[in-house]
Structure 1
């Protein structure tokens, strides 16, 4: 097998695999990569002698679009119990080892000791290590902290900024934003994204407060903002919120994001949440999954007093996704949407990510028969190899 840094002396890479899900099953088994993009797909492609190409023989593996995690505390979350409870940063190896090629970095409760500038620096560091990385400007609090002092300028002038988030609502840790403040934040993000040629998603953190999704329902009912401008996350925090999320998705033809909690507590696992949403009639293309990786999992009493915390990891994301396929809840091609293709659409990256297709970024995960990532390629470079 090829090591992660062994292909720098080759201009082309040819992946010879057993099967390709793009996410639909293709009648091809070879992927030719050139200049970080997919140049050709075929069966038993013949390469002229003397071409500067590296061939990866992986006939026992299945190629799928590398996964996209739209909610990662790349600089670490936490801090709700003081400076000693700040979570650690995530590494490129931790990301790629799960078959993830693209992440979106977020700030959470703590935007004082951590800042958008820290987040941007970490995002650019991950890019230097081979990961495709983006970020949301802002954090839990309103008004949100930004890089330039303005949401629209962040979107227009900072390539890595693709939206606003995670703005906290229905949570005792939020700024308790008024409805008009929420509407202004979303509209500013929308216009800034239009000027920048981006989707400009507004990523909303849902707590377990009694208002639930009401602020977003009002937003979509009382304004001209389209439903694809916002996505609520952590909607599986407790069963009642998930039921509300199902009704919200169906009423507005909107997307909802479930979190792969390692220990759901009073909530539901990502597997159970997706299963229930599907049972309620929510189309799979309106459901996405994310990890909340390296964020904190704090515990509070009924008065909001901090009791303790754990650090979230991204292992549950892959495990719950694998279970959806293994237990026949979704076929592989549909399940890939929840963790890749649909996520790319939600983020506005669908013109180059989330598919194995000619002209798309060569972000490819090679999975074994147990759907476990064995190699991860980002822009054609191997950033993870289980054998190295």
Structure 2
């Protein structure tokens, strides 16, 4: 089937004005005004969608999701559930990068890969990182390099924990070694080979990353630290890291307790960094979906627990535009093109001829989600899921 969206205001994410967009064979086939009048009738079935009064922009690329579940810091009963297909699609997310977290014993890389393949079969695009919080890294094959080169879905390693009581209390030499393994794996396979870094709330903040860069030949772009909006001090440190050329990521999933304790909302963190002169190509937001959101007391004991939501990413995008005045092109880029580029996902995060047909139709005024397409298939219409996961009701 061909799908033609007519007279829609397109952000690719660059502003393209009012155009028609033709989708064919899971890809964007053409972008131009008045395409309807240029298509020869040859009996092909075509769905025509009137895009008047709507915005069209790429489907969201969520660079950090615990698709197979996470948590467990409070015992086995506190392991969080796996992500469902509609957790992503109802929030406009069409591409996810799955990771392990604290628990790499009862949550395994084999299970992570199986879940990624399941979600791909159900309709969205999935990639993964090998490893977890801890080093030495858990891998499927003998080492990180082999995992990235030989296993299609692995594009990097992470999220490796630093500045956190749950980390392996690393030395820079350990981090440099695993980063070099990931880098070589990425170079040989044509993948990002990125090192996703979980940054906790320790006062050491990004010190280990700076030390690793200073003591090695690794570029600052080798590391991709997340949770940079955890508090104001870390946000300032993240801005300095970005001004040295690095990437930083803000976490959309949060709760009132975290905000009371000083966490900066992801949308505000994005606005603050843009205002300070950091390029949007270095800034991303992710959901940390299906992660545990643990609250620890001063002794490191778990006293509260919530679950991250993939849908928080779209909410943060809306908030950035509607509450913090971020320009819509920058806001869209932070959750589409920026993560796709740094993760080397060449067909994602953009609407152009040949790109995957992952896109959103939303209202102009409040950016309300109306339709979501993944690989050319309509997953959400009228804010309701048309396609559900195998075991979703």
Class of the TM-score when normalised by the shorter of the 2 chains: over 0.9
Deviations 1:265-311 (A, max 9, x none): 32111022122223333222221100101100111111111212111
Q: Is the 8 A contact 1:363 1:380 kept in 2?
A: yes
State yes or no: 1:256 paired with 2:252: no
Please state how far the C-alpha of 1:53 moved relative to its aligned partner: 2.4
- Structure-1 residue corresponding to 2:329: 333
Q: Which runs of 5+ in 1 are unaligned?
A: 1-9
For 1:234 and 1:342, the matched residues in 2 are separated by 16
- Structure-2 residue corresponding to 1:4: none
Matches within 5 A, 1:32-43: 32-43=22-33
State yes or no: 1:92 paired with 2:82: no
Runs of 4+ in 1 over 4 A off after TM superposition: none
Equivalent position to 2:174, from 181, 184, 197 = 181
Please state how far the C-alpha of 1:259 moved relative to its aligned partner: 0.6
Q: Which runs of 5+ in 2 are unaligned?
A: 387-393
For 2:357 and 2:113, the matched residues in 1 are separated by 24
- Structure-1 residue corresponding to 2:377: 381
Q: Is the 8 A contact 1:28 1:41 kept in 2?
A: no
Equivalent position to 1:290, from 264, 286, 289 = 286
Aligned residues: 376
Please state how far the C-alpha of 1:17 moved relative to its aligned partner: 4.6
TM-score, with structure 1 as normaliser: 0.94
Equivalent position to 2:161, from 147, 163, 168 = 168
For 2:251 and 2:357, the matched residues in 1 are separated by 27
Equivalent position to 1:26, from 16, 26, 34 = 16
Matches within 5 A, 1:1-388: 10=1, 12-46=2-36, 47-49=39-41, 50-250=43-243, 252-263=244-255, 264-265=258-259, 266=261, 267-327=263-323, 329-349=325-345, 351-369=346-364, 370-385=366-381, 386-387=383-384, 388=386
Q: Is the 8 A contact 1:66 1:376 kept in 2?
A: yes
Please state how far the C-alpha of 1:127 moved relative to its aligned partner: 0.2
For 1:334 and 1:344, the matched residues in 2 are separated by 14
SS at match of 1:334: helix
- Structure-1 residue corresponding to 2:389: none
Q: Over the residues paired in the alignment, what is the CA RMSD in angstroms?
A: 1.4
TM-score, with structure 2 as normaliser: 0.92
Q: Is the 8 A contact 1:68 1:103 kept in 2?
A: yes
Please state how far the C-alpha of 1:148 moved relative to its aligned partner: 1.3
For 2:157 and 2:178, the matched residues in 1 are separated by 8
Please state how far the C-alpha of 1:152 moved relative to its aligned partner: 1.0
Q: Is the 8 A contact 1:19 1:28 kept in 2?
A: yes
For 2:69 and 2:13, the matched residues in 1 are separated by 31
